[in-house]
Amino acid sequence: MKKSKLKKIIFTSMAFALIFAMTACNNSEQKAEEKKDSITMAVSEDISDLNAHLYNGSMLAQDMIFESLVRNTEKGPEPALAESWEISEDGKTYTFKLRKDVKFTDGEPFDAKAAKANFDAIQENKETHSWLELSNKIVGCDVVDEHTIALKLSDAYYPTLAELGLTRPYRMMSPKVFENGKTKDGVTDIVGTGPYKLKEHVTDQYASFEANDDYWNGKPSIKNITMKVMPSGETPLLALKKGEINFLFSTDTSGMIDADALKTLESDDKYKVHISKPCSTRYMLTNSDPSRIISDKNIKQAVWQSINKEELCNGVFSNFEKPASTIFAKSVPYCDVELKDRKFDEEASKKLIEKSGWTFDSNSGFYKKDGKTLVLELVYNSDKTMNKVIAEFIQANTKNVGIDLKLVAVEGNVMRDLRSQGKYDLYLDRSWGLPYDPQSTITALFSKQSFLTVTKDLNSFDEMHKTILDAMTTTDESTRKDLFKKELGFIHDEMCFIPLSYSSAIIVADKELGGVEFNQSQFEVPFYKFAY
């Protein structure tokens, strides 16, 4: 074949490929920008089964569709589907007056009968909800009149209203969708009373929601919300830049958006980055098993003071997370308590280690005792890349004070197994966040399925356990405050958690989108309050 002929062929095919690509590039209009009453956002996973009484579905979507009798706010529980309530003197009966103007989106009225049907269906599956103490306390729900119900408890339980307001399981679904009066094995449709209704759901592709124009709290001004499934971390950012989506939401900086991406978006005129108050804490759990080096209080404190949290927040989180000196931020309910700060101080760390009889071995660069090196194991979840960065940062910090930190990267479920078997020294994790903080994270310290290995061998175990139980049952608010103060003191003294940073929920939206705020729960977004 002649060279010139070949060249011709090459150039023709290249030109053809180019034309082909250009014609194929149909002008994919930027739908998100055209309509100013719509939000298109990226989600990393499919919304899954939204049954409000189970735990499979997206909490973000569940909150848009389903409501509870009360709503958790910064000021505490406020009326939602219940207009008002009364608590009996013994704290065992909650009588709720329900709103009269509420209908499910399938036209069914929301009344005392519907509310009772929901409570019955939820309690039918109460073993699944046993992580919430309320499910163990409810003994029944009675219809008093058409718009009044009485919720009966076995004992007084202060977080009743707060737990009723959680995203799940105590939200109301239309009884019409129940299967044989039950919801635990599935429902026939997704129907609630909330500001939005599910319009279309294509598994692993997208879910679209439309405003419920008969919403009792007024028509939402954002009419359509679409959640597109984009599993890869970089695609949502690129889709936002292109205008295919106009909204991003993440419960922290290691989720949908990372700190670097946020920094670029902050400097972009088109978007605004909204950051919530601190709503959860990154921390390391410490094992109380006396056979482990970490059970020594001096070593715990040495690790605590060896970590430069300022640098961690600056270098790793670009200051989108703040250094944490206590397990809960002061803005968390009952946590505005003064506790002694253990500041970053490498010299102090070294002294503490030496106090426990360890001597520095200049050959290895680590402390040694009876020929054994000061080695600790840090277990972390490898599912999220951010954890590796944090773990390596801590490893570098502890090395400076002569502690050899071994990193153990495992998947989420293996990690939980290691935790319940006590096979770790330090365990990198995050608190459940608002509204589960502080009560659920603290009670988890005494649960076999959760953090029992952190407290089980502490001398103050019994007293700590009693304090939190009392705090959960007392009906007197000021006593509860004192009890929480005492409990937080115990936790801080024993160093059950080594706090690292406080993280916030993040929203990236069009500059023109107004009314952007956060819910009390970091997993929810109050879209119905937004407007262009």
Partner 1 sequence: MYKYILKRLLFLLPMMIIVSFIAFYLIDASSSSPGRIILEAQGVPEITQTLIEETNHKYGFDEPFVVRYFLWMKKAAQLDFGKSFVSNENVSTLILTSFFYTLKLTIATAVTIILFSVSLSVVCVFLKNKFVDKIIRSGMFFLAATPPYLIGIILIWLFSVKFNSLPTSGVGDFSHYILPVLANTIGYASFFFRMLRNSMLENIHENYVYFYRSSGVSEKKIIKHIIKNSLQTAVTAFSMAIPALIAGTAVIENIFAWPGIGRLCVAAIFNRDIPIIQAYVLLIGLFYCVFNILADIINAWINPKLREA
Q: Which stretch binds partner 1 (CB under 8 A): 109-117, 128-136, 473-481, 506-514?
A: 128-136
Interface with partner 1, residue 128, by CB under 8 A: yes
Q: Which stretch binds partner 1 (CB under 8 A): 86-94, 152-160, 316-324, 443-451?
A: 443-451
For partner 1, what does the binding mask look like between residues 239 and 268, x meaning CB under 8 A? Answer: x-xx-x------------------------
**H/E element holding 34?**
helix 31-34
Q: Judged by CB under 8 A, which of 107, 140, 231, 357 binds partner 1?
A: 231
To the nearest whole angstrom, how small is the minimum distance from the Cβ of residue 78 to partner 1? 25
For 313, the token pair is: 């927040």
Interface with partner 1, residue 204, by CB under 8 A: yes
Interface with partner 1, residue 516, by CB under 8 A: no
Count of positions (residues) in the chain: 532
CA 301 to chain centre: 28
| Cα–Cα distance for residue pair 530/515, rounded to 1 Å | 5
> What DSSP assignment string belongs to 124-178?
HTTTTTTTSHHHHHEEEEEEEETTEEEEEESS--TTHHHHHTSSSSS----GGG-
Q: 14, 16, 508: which is closest to 271 by C-alpha?
A: 508
To the nearest whole angstrom, how small is the minimum distance from the Cβ of residue 288 to partner 1? 20
To the nearest whole angstrom, how small is the minimum distance from the Cβ of residue 206 to partner 1? 8
Q: Judged by CB under 8 A, which of 33, 36, 48, 400 binds partner 1?
A: 48
Residues 6+ apart with CB under 8 A from 243: 30, 32, 33
Q: Judged by CB under 8 A, which of 8, 11, 15, 56 binds partner 1?
A: 56
Find the angle CA(86)-CA(88)-CA(93) to the nearest 5 degrees: 85
To the nearest whole angstrom, how small is the minimum distance from the Cβ of residue 450 to partner 1? 7
Site for partner 1 in 11-30 (CB under 8 A): 13, 21-22, 24-28
Q: Judged by CB under 8 A, which of 84, 188, 203, 264 binds partner 1?
A: 203
State the first-to-last Cα distance of the chain, in angstroms, to the nearest integer: 65
To the nearest whole angstrom, how small is the minimum distance from the Cβ of residue 459 to partner 1? 27
Question: Is the Cα torsion angle 475, 481, 483, 488 positive or negative in sign?
Answer: positive
CA distances from 97 to 7, 70, 90, 356, 497 (A): 83, 11, 19, 61, 42
Which residue ranges make up the site for partner 1 (CB under 8 A)?
Answer: 1, 3, 6, 10, 13, 21-22, 24-28, 45-46, 48-49, 54-56, 127-128, 130-131, 186, 202-206, 228-232, 234-235, 238-239, 241-242, 244, 383, 411, 413, 416-417, 447, 449-450
